[in-house]
């Protein structure tokens, strides 16, 4: 009996290690390839000689990109949208989540349903598009011509994140809250001095979710922002990809690097900042997925 | 519950008649002045209700107003008149899409079929793989080694859809006069799985490969990250459960079947409902970034169909197609939730 047990466990262990190694390498390989292709010379890239390591190393693809003002402009637009978008979303979500966490709130069930319903049913691309167009007209009517503010204010709200905050605020012991009220704390003070400090890790997680969705936002930014100076990084990358894969536009290419290297350099540059902050945000990222229910 | 007369009536001995009891009088009063009571409560607690205002504003303006716009699928289309004043068109747009008999109708059916196929494949392949990965992670006893594996498999999750699709586009691109085909094409040609011509034409230009590219890139992107929640459920299992099973003579497969699976079942159910909830809401962004005119046959989904046809076919038809998609999606999520609650006592909503 003992013997058979060991055999089945050993087999499973071998399978696990083999497949995990294969999958991990498959996850890593495209990145390594992208870096290698970005810094390889023109001939090896165009003749498909790069497999893993770079050949005829050059850095002019990166240098040229760093000298491109539009690239930095797109980066700063993305930072703008990420920063203000996250702040606005957190402001809305913390206040809303706090109010929803209170049992004494009238029509609490109705408000919760109001939120959860948006997770079941969304209007879809076309009505949403018309709605954003109308919002843009209104905003331009009152003098806000920078369409980045439309992206900041109108997009990226997620009911799930408010529910995560609500659940965290509900977990704050009522005794602590009562003690604060006895000490004369107002509603706003209860929230800022008791609930927010006691739910710090959930707040960090939710802020991270908002920030990532803002950083990654592409489709609506491309639809709504017409001025090229206001476009975020994701739109910039996509436009470059469309430009560089269009054979007509690259017909007279005479740079010392291949067109592919230019795209790979751009891809690498957009991933690197996230990889740099990744070790710091990893624990919040992992925490956020362990959600329970959305009940009530 | 049985209602008795004495619940709300009281016998008045002096007059010899039944009168409304004092408790019921209070209740009647509250009911009569219900909205006044609500108003006073809100006024007294106005700070709390003021906190809801930004959230309600955002959701009404940019979530519920579009739903109202969606009602134009029932209205006679006229851009000049707002939705509310348009004439009722009944189900004519739906009829046109479902049994129109023209190319628009065939395209709609194709989009609906593609939506189902893409999400169904995603469910079949994308859902079990994170669970299997989590089981594999559990086999690695060394924490350091496991962290390395985990970090590597989470990596693709940190790319945006645009960067991910750009990378995919580059890896499977077509060969041209000045540059060769993508590295994946080369590998497939080298393995003899596709011909040189197919590889040179680019896999994204070939409808036969779209679904595979969509699913494999999806798994590559999210499997590692999605395994976190299952792994958390697996390491929460007490080691004594395994020991007890081993003493009873369970081999590895029996332990999986009788120890691990029951322990993580509720997590699986929750994640499955979540998944079904977004089944028809498949990432139109990713499809829009990957598809081309050549691959509409397998790649066009309802959202992209509506998006492409909104100016040519009109907003009414586009809205009608999205309405159908969304209603089916909502029925699926509520259905999955109800079944899960009945069958396993676990539910998301």
Kindly provide the ipTM of the predicted complex, given to two decimals: 0.87
For chain A, percent of residues with pLDDT exceeding 90:
46
Considering A60, A81, A107, which residue would you say is the last residue of a domain?
A60
Greatest alpha-carbon span in chain B = 109
- Look-up: residue for tokens 């290419």? A253
Q: What is the pLDDT of residue A19?
A: 93
Task: Kindly determine whether residue B51 and residue A96, on different chains, have CB atoms separated by under 8 Å.
Answer: yes
Instruction: Report whether A215 contacts A149 (CB < 8 A).
Output: no
| A73 and A56 within one domain | no
Task: Kindly determine whether residue A155 and residue B62, on different chains, have CB atoms separated by under 8 Å.
Answer: yes
Averaged pLDDT, groups of 10, chain B, 349 residues long: 72 80 79 84 89 94 90 70 68 82 87 90 90 91 87 85 92 79 87 85 88 92 87 88 86 86 86 75 83 89 88 82 86 82 73
Q: What is the CATH number of the domain that holds A188?
A: 1.10.3720.10
- Look-up: residue for tokens 């596709």? B194
| A183 and A158 within one domain | yes
Chain A residues with beta carbon closer than 8 angstroms to that of B41: 106
| A167 and A22 within one domain | no
Q: What is the pLDDT of residue A296?
A: 47
Partners of B75 in the beta sheet?
B88
State the number of CA atoms in the 13 A half-sphere of B313 facing the CB.
25
| Among B58, B183, B253, beta carbon nearest to A33 | B183
Task: Kindly determine whether residue A237 and residue B162, on different chains, have CB atoms separated by under 8 Å.
Answer: yes
Range of the domain at A49: 2-60
Residue A150 contacts B where some CB pair is shorter than 8 Å = no
Task: Kindly determine whether residue B252 and residue A5, on different chains, have CB atoms separated by under 8 Å.
Answer: yes
Task: Kindly determine whether residue A135 and residue B162, on different chains, have CB atoms separated by under 8 Å.
Answer: no
- Look-up: residue for tokens 């070939």? B206
Task: Kindly determine whether residue B325 and residue A124, on different chains, have CB atoms separated by under 8 Å.
Answer: yes
Q: Which residue of A has its CA nearest to B229?
A: A290
pLDDT tens digits, one per residue of A5-60? 578 888 888 999 999 999 999 999 999 999 999 998 888 888 888 888 888 888 98
Question: Phi/psi of residue B300, each to 5°?
Answer: -70, 120
Q: Which residue of A has its CA nearest to B83?
A: A127
Q: Is the pLDDT of residue A135 over 50?
A: yes
Q: What is the pLDDT of residue A50?
A: 83
pTM strictly above 0.90: no
> Looking at CA atoms only, how far is residue A119 from chain B in angstroms?
8
> Looking at CA atoms only, how far is residue A259 from chain B in angstroms?
9
CATH level 3 topology of B96-344: MetI-like fold (1.10.3720)
> Looking at CA atoms only, how far is residue B173 from chain A in angstroms?
9
Chain A residues with beta carbon closer than 8 angstroms to that of B154: 282, 285
Instruction: Report whether A180 contacts A189 (CB < 8 A).
Output: yes
| Sign of the CA dihedral with A98 first, then A104, A107, and A108 last | positive
CA dist., res. A256 & res. A252, Å (int): 13
**DSSP assignment letter at B74:** G
Flag whether A148 is in a domain. yes
Q: Which of residues 169-188 of A touch B (CB under 8 A)?
A: 186-188
Q: Is the pLDDT of residue A162 over 90?
A: yes
Task: Kindly determine whether residue A27 and residue B153, on different chains, have CB atoms separated by under 8 Å.
Answer: yes
Q: Helix axis angle, B103-121 relative to B315-344, nearest 10°? A: 30
| A97 and A21 within one domain | no
Instruction: Report whether A100 contacts A112 (CB < 8 A).
Output: yes
pLDDT tens digits, one per residue of A67-98? 999 999 999 999 999 999 999 999 999 999 99
> Looking at CA atoms only, how far is residue B28 from chain A in angstroms?
20
Considering A60, A78, A98, which residue would you say is the last residue of a domain?
A60
| A173 and A197 within one domain | yes
Q: Is the pLDDT of residue A1 over 50?
A: no
- How many residue pairs from chains A and B have C-beta atoms closer than 8 A? 264
| A95 and A34 within one domain | no
Chain B residues with beta carbon closer than 8 angstroms to that of A250: 178
Instruction: Report whether A207 contacts A149 (CB < 8 A).
Output: no
Q: Which residue of B has its CA nearest to A234?
A: B162
Flag whether A79 is in a domain. yes
Closest among B56, B31, B45 to A106, alpha carbons compared: B45
| Domain assignments of chain B as residue spans, ordered by start | 5-85, 96-344
Considering A28, A60, A92, which residue would you say is the last residue of a domain?
A60
Flag whether A293 is in a domain. no
- Look-up: residue for tokens 């706003």? A188
| A153 and A208 within one domain | yes
Flag whether A196 is in a domain. yes
| Sign of the CA dihedral with A295 first, then B1, B3, and B8 last | negative
| Among B180, B183, B333, beta carbon nearest to A120 | B333
Q: Which long-range contacts (CB under 8 A, 24 or more apart) does B230-234 make?
A: B230/B130, B230/B131, B230/B133, B230/B134, B230/B264, B230/B267, B230/B268, B230/B271, B231/B133, B231/B134, B231/B137, B231/B138, B232/A290, B233/B134, B233/B263, B233/B264, B233/B267, B234/B134, B234/B135, B234/B137, B234/B138, B234/B260, B234/B263, B234/B264
| A73 and A12 within one domain | no
Residue A133 contacts B where some CB pair is shorter than 8 Å = no
Residues in chain A: 296
| A151 and A76 within one domain | yes
| A199 and A143 within one domain | yes
| A19 and A132 within one domain | no
Mutation for B interface: A27, A216, A270, most B CBs within 10 A: A27
| Sign of the CA dihedral with B100 first, then B104, B110, and B113 last | negative
The alpha-helical segments, DSSP class H, found in chain A are 2-38, 42-46, 60-66, 69-101, 108-120, 125-141, 148-154, 159-170, 174-182, 187-190, 196-198, 200-216, 219-224, 233-244, 259-288
Task: Kindly determine whether residue B67 and residue A95, on different chains, have CB atoms separated by under 8 Å.
Answer: no
Number of structural domains, chain A? 2
Which pLDDT band holds residue A280 (cuts at 50, 70, 90)? confident
> Looking at CA atoms only, how far is residue A106 from chain B in angstroms?
8
| A107 and A34 within one domain | no
Instruction: Report whether A99 contacts B48 (CB < 8 A).
Output: yes
């Amino acid at each position: 009996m003992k013997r058979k047990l060991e055999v089945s466990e050993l087999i499973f262990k071998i399978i696990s290690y083999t497949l995990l190694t294969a999958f991990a390498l498959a996850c890593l390989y495209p990145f390594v390839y992208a870096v290698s292709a970005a810094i390889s010379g023109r001939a090896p890239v165009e003749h498909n000689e790069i497999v893993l390591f770079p050949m005829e190393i050059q850095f002019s693809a990166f240098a040229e990109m760093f000298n491109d003002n539009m690239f930095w402009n797109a980066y700063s637009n993305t930072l703008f949208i990420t920063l203000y978008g996250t702040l606005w979303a957190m402001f809305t979500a913390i206040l809303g989540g706090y109010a929803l966490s209170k049992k004494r709130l009238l029509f609490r069930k109705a408000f919760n349903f109001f939120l959860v319903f948006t997770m079941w049913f969304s209007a879809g691309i076309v009505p949403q598009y018309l709605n954003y167009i109308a919002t843009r007209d209104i905003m331009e009517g009152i003098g806000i011509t920078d369409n980045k503010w439309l992206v900041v204010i109108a997009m990226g709200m997620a009911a799930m994140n408010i529910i995560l905050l609500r659940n965290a605020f509900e977990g704050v012991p009522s005794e602590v809250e009562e003690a604060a009220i006895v000490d004369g704390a107002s509603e706003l003070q209860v929230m800022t001095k008791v609930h927010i400090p006691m739910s710090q890790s959930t707040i960090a997680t939710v802020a991270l979710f908002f920030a990532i969705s803002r950083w990654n936002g592409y489709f609506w930014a491309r639809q709504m922002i017409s001025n090229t100076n206001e476009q975020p990084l994701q739109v910039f990358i996509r436009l470059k990809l469309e430009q560089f894969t269009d054979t007509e536009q690259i017909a007279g290419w005479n740079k010392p690097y291949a067109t592919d290297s230019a795209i790979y350099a751009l891809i690498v540059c957009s991933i690197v900042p996230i990889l740099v902050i990744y070790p710091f945000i990893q624990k919040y990222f992992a925490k956020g997925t362990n959600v329970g229910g959305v009940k009530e | 519950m049985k209602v008795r007369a004495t619940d709300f009536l009281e016998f008045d001995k002096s007059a010899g008649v039944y009168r409304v009891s004092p408790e019921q009088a209070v209740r009647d009063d509250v009911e009569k002045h219900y909205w006044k009571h609500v108003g006073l409560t809100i006024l007294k607690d106005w700070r709390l209700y003021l906190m809801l205002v930004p959230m309600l504003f955002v959701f009404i303006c940019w979530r519920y107003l579009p739903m109202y716009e969606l009602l134009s699928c029932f209205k006679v289309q006229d851009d000049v008149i707002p939705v509310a004043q348009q004439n009722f068109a009944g189900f004519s747009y739906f009829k046109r899409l479902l049994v129109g008999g023209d190319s628009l109708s065939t395209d709609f059916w194709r989009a609906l079929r593609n939506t189902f196929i893409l999400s169904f494949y995603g469910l079949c392949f994308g859902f079990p793989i994170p669970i299997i990965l989590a089981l594999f992670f559990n086999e690695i006893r060394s924490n350091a080694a496991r962290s390395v594996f985990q970090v590597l498999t989470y990596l693709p999750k940190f790319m945006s859809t645009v960067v991910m699709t750009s990378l995919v586009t580059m890896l499977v691109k077509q060969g041209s006069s000045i540059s060769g085909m993508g590295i994946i094409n080369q590998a497939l040609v080298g393995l003899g799985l596709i011909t040189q011509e197919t590889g040179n034409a680019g896999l994204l230009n070939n409808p036969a490969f779209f679904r595979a590219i969509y699913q494999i890139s999806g798994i590559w992107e999210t499997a590692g990250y999605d395994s976190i929640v299952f792994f958390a459920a697996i390491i929460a299992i007490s080691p004594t459960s395994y020991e007890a099973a081993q003493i009873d003579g369970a081999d590895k497969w029996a332990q999986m079947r009788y120890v691990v699976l029951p322990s993580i079942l509720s997590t699986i159910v929750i994640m499955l409902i979540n998944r079904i909830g977004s089944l028809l809401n498949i990432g139109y962004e990713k499809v829009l970034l990957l598809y081309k005119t050549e691959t509409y046959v397998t790649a066009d989904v309802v959202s992209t169909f509506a998006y492409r046809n909104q100016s040519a076919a009109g907003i009414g038809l586009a809205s009608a197609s999205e309405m159908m998609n969304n209603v089916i999606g909502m029925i699926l999520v509520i259905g999955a939730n109800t079944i899960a609650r009945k069958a396993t006592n676990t539910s998301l909503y």
